[in-house]
Structure 1
Amino acid sequence: MKNASVYKAIFSNIAGCVFFITIFIPATAQAQTRGTVEVIKDARIDTLAAHRASLKATGTITVAAATTGYGYRVQIYNGSSRKEAYDVQSRFMNEYPGMRTYIGYTEPNYKVRAGDFRSRLEAERLMQELRGKFTSLFIIGGRINPPKPGTGND
């Protein structure tokens, strides 16, 4: 009986040493060395970045005008006829020549959407003007293009 407990004690000591050797010794033996990073790029990238920075500095380009944002559009047509979608777009553009229109196709329907409004209230104003002229009017939220400079289509 006494021999069994001695063997268990020796075995647990050996197991502990083996565990320590297999886990901690390799972790300390692996030395991390500092390396260098070499960047290979075209020289025209620096020229392009400098040109963009100069455009921003002179006010030719602004950050707000270069990016899209979240806003609203008014959907003026939803149907399966491509010809009718283009006819609705043409009719809308004749009545509102300064406002952008977009035709999208999600099988099997064409959707004609108008405007790039930053607030829902502006989209609702247009929707009220269009009542009676177009059917199935909806306000759709999503990514919009920035408004044209000098227009009231904000």
Structure 2
Amino acid sequence: MKKFLTVVLCCFSAVALAQTKGVVSVVKDPMIDSLIAKRIELSSKAAAGAPGILSTGKPGTTIVSQMGYRVQIFYGSDRREVYSAQSKFNSSYPELNTYITYKQPNYYLRVGDFRTRLEAQRLMNELRLIFPTLFIFREKINAPNLNYNND
């Protein structure tokens, strides 16, 4: 009889202490839904192209990231000197992209997006008289468009 009462009391206490179902209310800003929708739209546009291609938003232009080479033409701790070297380079070679990075305590000016080391070496040979300290670095580049002529 004691065992029966113990089992019955356990069952009633389990039912009495059981949790009841509740309602969860989510409070959020309505802008979150619009941001999520924009993110989905942007990622679907990028996925519509080829994998590894990021769209810049301009029609007909894409940026393909891959490993390549850049030529470092200047480094120093003075920001004004780096910007003057950049303008000096841009006046001579406006078709090549320039990239300024800062790693404490120096600024680095690297130029070009070259697929092969040979292309970077050609530019380095042209610039040797203008810029005394030149180095070639392998890093992730924005791959240039290939222009094929059907001649």
Fold-level similarity (TM above 0.5): yes
Q: Please, which runs of 5 or more residues in structure 1 have no aligned partner?
A: 1-40
- Would you say the 8 A contact 2:63–2:142 is kept in 1? no
Find the residue that maps to 2:144 and give its secondary structure.
Answer: coil
Q: Give the letter aligned to residue 119 of structure 1.
A: T
Q: Give the letter aligned to residue 49 of structure 1.
A: S
Root mean square deviation of aligned Cα = 2.9
Q: Which of the numbers 101, 107, 116 marks the counterpart of 1:110?
A: 107
Deviations 1:100-126 (A, max 9, x none): 000010000010000000100000000
Find the residue that maps to 2:143 and give its secondary structure.
Answer: coil
Whichever of the two has the greater Rg, that structure is 1
Partner residue of 2:76?
A: 79
Q: Give the letter aligned to residue 117 of structure 2.
A: R
Q: Give the letter aligned to residue 95 of structure 1.
A: S
**C-alpha displacement of 1:131:** 0.7
- Distance (whole Å) between structure 1 residues aligned to residue 124 and residue 82 of structure 2: 18
- Distance (whole Å) between structure 2 residues aligned to residue 46 and residue 80 of structure 1: 42
Q: Which of the numbers 119, 122, 126 marks the counterpart of 1:122?
A: 119
Deviations 1:14-52 (A, max 9, x none): xxxxxxxxxxxxxxxxxxxxxxxxxxx977747963796
**C-alpha displacement of 1:67:** 2.8
Shift in CA distance, 117/77, structure 1 to aligned 2, threshold 3 Å = same
Partner residue of 2:24?
A: none
Q: Which of the numbers 84, 90, 93 marks the counterpart of 2:90?
A: 93
**C-alpha displacement of 1:127:** 0.0
Q: How many residues align?
A: 104
Q: Give the letter aligned to residue 83 of structure 1.
A: R
Q: Please, which runs of 5 or more residues in structure 2 have no aligned partner?
A: 1-32, 51-58
The TM-score, its normalising length taken from structure 1, stands at: 0.58
Shift in CA distance, 105/43, structure 1 to aligned 2, threshold 3 Å = closer
Q: Which of the numbers 127, 131, 142 marks the counterpart of 2:128?
A: 131
The TM-score, its normalising length taken from structure 2, stands at: 0.59
Q: Are 2:59 and 1:49 aligned?
A: no
More strand by share: 2
- Distance (whole Å) between structure 2 residues aligned to residue 135 and residue 85 of structure 1: 14
